[in-house]
Amino acid sequence: MPLGISCCAIEMMAFAGPRFDVSRFGAEVFRFSPRQSDLLIVAGTVTYKMAKVVRKIYDQMPDPKWVISMGVCASSGGMYRSYSVVQGIDQFVPVDVYVAGCPPRPDSVLKALMEIQKKISRGNHPGQVGGKVSPEFDHEKILIE
Amino acid sequence: MAASAEDKKPKTQSAANVSQILKALEDRDTNVVLEDPLENYMVLNMGPQHPATHGVLRLLVKLDGETVVDCIPELGYLHRGYEKIAEACTYHEFIPHTDRLDYISPLANNVAYALAVEKIAGVEAPPRAQYIRVISAELARISSHLMAIGAMAMDVGAMTVFLWSFREREKLYDVFDLFTGVRFTTSYTRIGGVAQDMDDKAVQAIRKFIDEFPKNLSEMGRMLNKNRIFLDRTVGVGAINADDAVEIGLSGPNIRACGIDYDLRTFSPYLVYDQLSFDVVTEKDGDCFARYMVRMREMEESSKLVRQALENMPVGPVKADLPKRVLPDKERVYTKMEEMIHDFVIVNDGVHPPAGDAYVAIEGSKGELGFYIISDGSGAPWRLKIRSPSFCNLQALPLLLKGQMISDVVAIIGSIDPIMGEADK
Amino acid sequence: MKEEVESRLRSSLGDAIVSVDEFNEQVSIEIKRDRITDVCKILKEELGFNYLSDLCGADMLNYDDASARKAYLAIEHEHRPHQVPNEERFLVVYQLTSLKDKSGDSDLGKRLRLKVKVDGDNPVCPSITSVFKSANWYEREAFDMFGIEFEGHPDMRRMYMPEEYEYYPLRKDFPLMGVPGSIPLPRR
């Protein structure tokens, strides 16, 4: 589910657009409702006012769910060291893949999507049918540059 | 937190009601009883995360059945504190921040900021740099209008036009890549000129794009201009008359669609617009369809401007020759002593313009994009105010939505074309 | 050019003007705080400045333009340090545009800047929403960022920060990173 907040949303639209086509990877459908989606892509700067909303959307997604934090603003606050920007969404939402870049090229986001697909195929996520929770794979965080 | 909200006395009755409504909507387990006539109407929250509000705009809409009675926009979900950050960095360090203001036409914001700082510092860019800035501003305008039309068409239901306009935008990204080095958030202008020159390959690419563009644009126009569904959804919807538009502070394509020809490129010409010939596009009706037509025709005018600028561009340096104010070229920094010292001081301390203030506005793609800078003579601005057109255009939203249906809300927001990175600063 | 503009303004506005300034072909006038609404009305109706481009606040605490007198590499000249007094701490700046005047290239007949000085301890300023409707949101933003209250504003509440926020971010004594814990984050 795309949570396009600021400039990274434009690169996310390009990533869904005709050139870097995301439907080749099986992820064509962008559902705008959290209740029907598995993957949350947080794209853009998250401010303190918006943090409550992001957390609410994350809570509304059913298990199993994965989160991609796209762009440096979502991963670590980015170039905005100021009073109203949260310095990284992993303070309140568990993240699986971080994508660096300001904004990241759509190719990097495609690689992040492929990493998520690999992670899912390993089958270790709690809530997945037939999955087991194993300590060394569960909390693996990946950084795409 | 809740205790302090109740301790503060609200200023007016309407402010008290809004606070209660906002609290009730955020906190799931609260029941609120209001003595206000709101009980007879439904309050719908088109929240910050919504596929059709362009960015994080929150609208509280008071509905009578399906007709909108009133609406309260709430901003601030993307407030990043730009003006406070500006007071802490030097003039050059703020240039990448200006890219992210109106993030679908970043080159235009760079040009506006550079003009404002140059006005205070008393620096003028050489002619070739001015022509390059005109070309970048007009290409950024084309890119922004393409996005606006694509998003509006997608909101109204025409998904094909969105994909076509994105194809054109990808071509533009390739062009930007050739002469600035970056696809998207370029930080291309510098105080006193532009960062690097445009070589022949870039000029050929721009020419190729401009030659192919009118055909693609007319294809998109053929899809929408006489389409029964599109016309039914946009003609007569969200109309505003000229006096109200001036009173509420609209600018850009929105005010030109009401018949007032306020275009800063002709009102107070900046860069080299007085030497290029183009028409100011206006329409009479002031509704969504008029705003759409203004944007389509403005893209044709922009391509005319780019063609003229490419033909008339003189040969010469792209940065002004004022060593104490302008960053010198990199080859000379690495080989000569004085340039290295100047580079060091300008990067660390900043350009030191004289003390004073200036307000410079350009015609950005959404309207009047202005910077008001108060300088105290040091390397960082004392106060930098960004007059963002989207903020001022959104102020007209309650006026435009009164009496419309709930499904027109989406079309009207799309036609005003707000960008929240700019509106929230 | 400046004298012509100045004489026209003085004849209409009279004693509300405190001083007239020009910097790089842009004219700014300082107006007495209590007369700002009348001045805006006169400018809009008689002199044709019918569009409000911008309204902002500024905090002039410790504003010292001494660094302008210093030479480039920090060699000190003798300067008299001047501090802005607390009664004039905040500045409210109005940018007016005249849409009807299309002649000429420079900004002199078309744009005007008005400045009003506001007290630091009790920042109150009359609102001009009765004259220009577009001043509504600008004044709310000035209130949110600086704490300047505008008398007669129909809807004085915060614009960007959440409603319960207790500080005014753009004041000079507020740190860039903010006060930690002033807005709560949801738990992980």
Domain map (residue ranges) of chain C: 2-121
**A55 contacts C175? CB cut-off 8 A:** no
Residue spans of chain B under pLDDT 70: 1-16, 24, 27-39, 52-53
- Is B105 within 8 Å of B365 (Cβ atoms)? yes
Cα three-residue angle A104-A110-A112, rounded to 5 degrees: 80
Please give the pLDDT value at position C68. 46
Predicted TM-score of the model (pTM):
0.86
- Please indicate if any CB of chain A lies within 8 Å of the CB of B163: yes
Q: How far is C117 from chain A (nearest CA, A)?
A: 27
CA distance C109 to A97: 57
Q: Searching chain B, which residue's CA lies closest to the CA of residue C130?
A: B247
Which residues of chain A have a CB within 8 Å of the CB of C177? 81-83
Please give the pLDDT value at position B120. 87
Q: How confident is the model at residue C100 (pLDDT cuts 50, 70, 90)?
A: confident
Q: How confident is the model at residue A128 (pLDDT cuts 50, 70, 90)?
A: low
Q: Top-level CATH class of C2-121?
A: alpha beta
pLDDT at C180 over 60: yes
CA distance B148 to B70: 25
Which residues of chain B have a CB within 8 Å of the CB of A55? none
- Please indicate if any CB of chain C lies within 8 Å of the CB of B380: no
Closest CA to B365 of B166, B97, B143, B188: B143
Give partners of C (≥3 CB pairs < 8 A): A, B
Strands (E), B151-227: 189-190, 193-194
How large is the average pLDDT for residues C134-158?
Answer: 89
Please give the pLDDT value at position A125. 63
Does residue B3 or residue C10 have the better pLDDT? C10
Among B78, B155, B422, B424, most A C-beta atoms within 10 A, so best to mutate, is B78
Strands (E), A44-83: 66-70
Q: Searching chain C, which residue's CA lies closest to the CA of residue B251?
A: C53
Q: How far is B303 from chain A (nearest CA, A)?
A: 23
Does residue C34 or residue A17 have the better pLDDT? C34
Rounded to the nearest integer, the mean pLDDT of chain A is 81
- Please indicate if any CB of chain C lies within 8 Å of the CB of B12: yes
- Torsion angles phi and psi, residue A103, rounded to 5: -85, 160
Please give the pLDDT value at position B206. 92
Instruction: Provide the greatest CA pair distance for chain A.
Output: 45
Please give the pLDDT value at position B54. 78
**B345 contacts C73? CB cut-off 8 A:** yes
**A48 contacts C169? CB cut-off 8 A:** no
| ipTM of the complex as predicted | 0.87
- Torsion angles phi and psi, residue B292, rounded to 5: -65, -45
pLDDT at C78 over 60: no
Please give the pLDDT value at position C177. 82
Cα three-residue angle C54-B388-B190, rounded to 5 degrees: 110
**C56 contacts B15? CB cut-off 8 A:** no
How large is the average pLDDT for residues A1-8?
Answer: 86
Q: Searching chain B, which residue's CA lies closest to the CA of residue A43?
A: B55
- The answer for B 33-52 residues in CB contact with A (under 8 A) is 47-51
pLDDT digits (tens, 9 = 90+) for A54-107: 888 888 888 888 888 988 888 888 888 888 888 888 888 888 889 888 888 888
**C161 contacts A84? CB cut-off 8 A:** yes
| CATH T-level assignment (fold) for domain A2-144 | Rossmann fold (3.40.50)
Of B11, B246, B359, the CB nearest to C95: B359
Which residues of chain B have a CB within 8 Å of the CB of A43? none
Q: Searching chain B, which residue's CA lies closest to the CA of residue C67?
A: B377
**C162 contacts A83? CB cut-off 8 A:** no
Give the 3-state secondary structure of residue B221.
helix
Chain pair A-B, CB pairs under 8 angstroms: 84
Please give the pLDDT value at position B372. 92
In this structure, the number of other CB atoms found within 10 A of the CB of residue B24 comes to 16
Please enumerate in sequence order all residues whose Cβ is within 8 A of that of B293, keeping only pairs 6 or more positions apart, or say none: B225, B257, B283
Q: Searching chain C, which residue's CA lies closest to the CA of residue B243?
A: C50
Please give the pLDDT value at position A13. 83
Does residue C22 or residue B147 have the better pLDDT? B147
On the 0-12 / 13-18 / 19+ scale of CB atoms within 10 A, C15 is exposed
Which residues of chain C have a CB within 8 Å of the CB of B120? 24
Please enumerate in sequence order all residues whose Cβ is within 8 A of that of B44, keeping only pairs 6 or more positions apart, or say none: B60, B61, B62, B63, B406
Q: How far is A18 from chain C (nearest CA, A)?
A: 36
Chain pair A-C, CB pairs under 8 angstroms: 36
Among B57, B90, B385, most C C-beta atoms within 10 A, so best to mutate, is B385
Among C144, C158, C185, C187, most A C-beta atoms within 10 A, so best to mutate, is C185
Q: Searching chain C, which residue's CA lies closest to the CA of residue A54?
A: C186
Of C160, C183, C185, the CB nearest to A91: C185
Q: How confident is the model at residue C181 (pLDDT cuts 50, 70, 90)?
A: confident
**Torsion angle, CA of B386/B390/B391/B394, rounded to 10 degrees?**
170
Of B268, B356, B376, the CB nearest to C110: B268
Which residues of chain B have a CB within 8 Å of the CB of A32? 50-51
- Is B247 within 8 Å of B305 (Cβ atoms)? no
Rounded to the nearest integer, the mean pLDDT of chain C is 79
- The answer for B 219-238 residues in CB contact with A (under 8 A) is none
Residue B259 corresponds to which amino acid? G
Among A23, A30, A55, A79, most B C-beta atoms within 10 A, so best to mutate, is A79
**A13 contacts B51? CB cut-off 8 A:** no
Q: Report chain A's C-alpha Rg in angstroms.
A: 15
pLDDT at C75 over 50: no
